[in-house]
């Protein structure tokens, strides 16, 4: 038996409801591992869970945010085998926890643990699996192949930048919308940057005279949807992670949001993401780090304009 410090929400509301508690942590059971975390990824879903966006059923309290993390294996339960094979004490790993990763030590099922990509830092590794899983699913669902052109709205963001890298690695031409300040970043990832705003459709047509085969919307604006519908002939190759209402009404594809198909595709793609990062084929941009005890401040800042990249907590 050991103890750990964890961040939980004991009520519904804003970031101010987050508090740090100390709690006992049992030894890992069969099929489990115990990790000492080095870094924890912060994602919008973390604060949506306690904000009331998905309802305010008090039986769900306390809510334990935190989906992804990187860390060191402290103990291994009987029969524990990771997604890539056996796990040993001392292994450096990344974990898809699902919940409860805002902590110093975490016990979870070994099947959710992967070798840490050594080409990435601890902080970068902690920010790979959630945004990377979303990006990888979008590439699968759009069906883009070598020689095609993909338009990514919000290409400089966490999901967008990983989608750019995954698509470019397949030999896809990527046009990415972003503010002018982020154009050099996109060029560095292999994309052709374009500024969003009035006249976007015409600018994209000029960049892609042979047409756009597919589009991925991470921005959620009417402009992103309208331009995608105007440029992509096959609406089943337009994918959004935000414009769920318009997708349902206008016949294009929304992924995520608890969709069982999304869950399956993302689970199947995680090991491939880790392997690509280990080869040095994927870069994760870290915007800012915070001490674990400052999780509330991280959540408050994440909801305001901020530099592109992941927010990371350091236990």
Per-residue pLDDT of the chain (315 residues; tens, 9 = 90+): 789 999 999 999 999 999 999 999 989 999 999 999 999 999 999 999 999 999 999 999 999 999 999 999 999 999 999 999 999 999 999 999 999 999 999 999 999 999 999 999 999 999 999 999 999 999 999 999 999 999 999 999 999 999 999 999 999 999 999 999 999 999 999 999 999 999 999 999 999 999 999 999 999 999 999 999 999 999 999 999 999 999 999 999 999 977 888 989 999 999 999 999 999 999 999 999 999 999 999 999 999 988 888 999 999
Sign of CA dihedral 272, 273, 274, 275: positive
Q: How far apart are CA 214 and CA 216, in angstroms?
A: 7
Q: How far apart are CA 200 and CA 206, in angstroms?
A: 10
pLDDT above 70 covers a percentage of the chain that reads 100
Q: How far apart are CA 120 and CA 126, in angstroms?
A: 9
pLDDT in tens, 79-100: 999 999 999 999 999 999 999 9
Q: Which pairs with CB-CB distance under 8 Å and at least 24 residues apart come from 98-101?
A: 98/67, 99/64, 99/65, 99/66, 99/67, 100/6, 100/64, 100/65, 100/66, 101/37, 101/40, 101/41, 101/65, 101/66, 101/67, 101/68, 101/69
SS3 call for 308: coil
Residue in the structure block whose two tokens are 């796990």:
87
Instruction: Identify the pLDDT of residue 4.
Output: 96
Task: Identify the structural domains of the chain with CATH numbers, from first to last.
Answer: 2-128+284-314 (3.90.180.10), 134-254 (3.40.50.720)
Q: How far apart are CA 52 and CA 139, in angstroms?
A: 31
Locate 96 and state its tokens: 């898809």
Instruction: Identify the pLDDT of residue 257.
Output: 78
Q: Mark out the alpha helices in the chain (DSSP H runs).
A: 44-51, 122-126, 129-142, 158-169, 183-189, 200-207, 222-231, 244-250, 260-278, 295-302
Instruction: Identify the pLDDT of residue 151.
Output: 98
DSSP of 168-220, one letter per residue? Answer: HHTT-EEEEEE-GGGHHHHHHHT-EEEE-STTHHHHHHHH-TT---EEEESS-
Q: Quick count: other Cβ atoms within 10 Å of Cβ 45?
A: 13
Q: How far apart are CA 106 and CA 59, in angstroms?
A: 23
Q: How far apart are CA 306 and CA 267, in angstroms?
A: 29
User: Cβ distance 57 to 245 under 8 Å?
Assistant: no
According to DSSP, the β-strands at 238-240 and 81-82 are unpaired
pLDDT in tens, 31-40: 999 999 999 9
* φ, ψ for residue 273, nearest 5 deg: -60, -45
* φ, ψ for residue 294, nearest 5 deg: -100, 25
């Amino acid at each position: 038996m050991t103890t750990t410090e964890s961040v939980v929400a004991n009520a519904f509301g804003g970031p101010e409801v987050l508090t740090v508690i100390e709690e006992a942590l049992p030894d890992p059971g069969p099929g489990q591992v115990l990790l000492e975390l080095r870094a924890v990824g912060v994602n919008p879903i973390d604060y949506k869970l306690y904000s009331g966006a998905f309802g305010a059923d008090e039986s769900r309290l306390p809510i334990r945010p935190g989906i992804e993390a990187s860390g060191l294996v402290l103990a291994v339960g009987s029969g524990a085998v990771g997604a890539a094979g056996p796990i040993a004490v001392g292994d450096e790993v990344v974990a898809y926890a699902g919940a409860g990763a805002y902590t110093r030590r975490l016990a979870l099922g070994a099947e959710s643990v992967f070798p840490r990509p050594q080409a990435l830092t601890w902080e970068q590794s902690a920010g790979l699996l959630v945004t990377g899983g979303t990006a990888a699913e979008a590439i699968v669902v759009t069906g883009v192949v070598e020689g095609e052109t993909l338009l990514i709205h919000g290409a400089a963001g966490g999901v967008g930048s990983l989608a750019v890298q995954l698509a470019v690695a397949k030999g896809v031409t990527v046009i990415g919308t972003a503010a002018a300040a982020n154009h050099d970043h996109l060029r560095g990832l292999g994309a052709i940057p374009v500024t969003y705003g009035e006249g976007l459709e015409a600018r994209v047509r000029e960049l892609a005279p042979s047409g756009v085969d597919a589009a991925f919307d991470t921005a959620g604006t009417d402009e992103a949807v309208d331009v995608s519908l105007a440029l992509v002939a096959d609406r089943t190759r337009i994918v959004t992670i935000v414009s769920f209402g318009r997708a349902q009404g206008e016949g294009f594809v929304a992924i995520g949001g608890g969709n069982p198909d999304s869950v399956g595709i993302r689970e199947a793609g995680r090991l491939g993401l880790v392997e690509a990062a280990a080869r040095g084929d994927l870069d994760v941009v870290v915007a800012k780090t915070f001490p674990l005890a400052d999780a509330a401040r991280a959540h408050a800042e994440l909801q305001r304009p901020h530099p592109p990249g992941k927010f990371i907590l350091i236990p």
